[in-house]
Amino acid sequence: MKRRTKRDLLVFTAVLGVIGTLVVGNSQLRRQGLAEDFEKLRENLEAARVGTGVEVLKWNIVRTTKGSLGGGGKFAPELMAYNGKEVFIIGFMVPEEQFRDVKEFLMLPIPIECYFCSLPPSRDVLFVKLREGETAQIYNEPVLIRGTFTINQGPGVKFFYSLQNATLESALDGGELTKRRLKLQHMVPVHDKDDSALLPGYSEKKPAKTE
**pLDDT computed for residue 170 by the predictor:** 95
Residue 203 has pLDDT above 60, yes or no: no
The number of C-alpha atoms within 13 Å of 60 and in the hemisphere containing its C-beta is 5
The closest of 169, 159, 160 to 88, measured between CA atoms, is 169
**pLDDT computed for residue 151 by the predictor:** 98
For residue 82, what is the DSSP state? Answer: T
For residue 38, what is the DSSP state? Answer: H
For residue 165, what is the DSSP state? Answer: E
Report which residue type is found at 53: G
User: In this predicted model, which residue has the larger pLDDT, 119 or 106?
Assistant: 106
Average pLDDT, the chain: 79
Q: Is the pTM here over 0.75, yes or no?
A: yes
24-38, 125-139, 174-188, range with greatest mean pLDDT: 125-139
User: In this predicted model, which residue has the larger pLDDT, 208 or 92?
Assistant: 92
If you average pLDDT over residues 11-21, what whole number do you get? Answer: 52
Backbone angles phi, psi at 6, to 5 degrees: -60, -45
If you average pLDDT over residues 132-145, what whole number do you get? Answer: 94
Binned at pLDDT 50, 70 and 90, residue 10 comes out as low
**pLDDT computed for residue 35 by the predictor:** 81
Beta-ladder partners of 16: none
The closest of 44, 55, 79 to 149, measured between CA atoms, is 79
**pLDDT computed for residue 182 by the predictor:** 66
Residue 97 has pLDDT above 60, yes or no: yes
Backbone angles phi, psi at 79, to 5 degrees: -80, -40
The dihedral sign for the CA sequence 4, 8, 9, 10? positive
Backbone dihedral region of 128: left (phi > 0), alpha (psi from -120 to 50 degrees) or beta? beta
**pLDDT computed for residue 15 by the predictor:** 54
3-state SS class at 169? strand
Residue 178 has pLDDT above 70, yes or no: yes
The closest of 139, 166, 157, 9 to 69, measured between CA atoms, is 157
Residue 149 has pLDDT above 60, yes or no: yes
The closest of 93, 101, 103, 73 to 209, measured between CA atoms, is 73
Quote the percentage of the chain above a pLDDT of 70: 67
Contact 157, 65 (CB under 8 A): no
Residue 187 has pLDDT above 90, yes or no: no
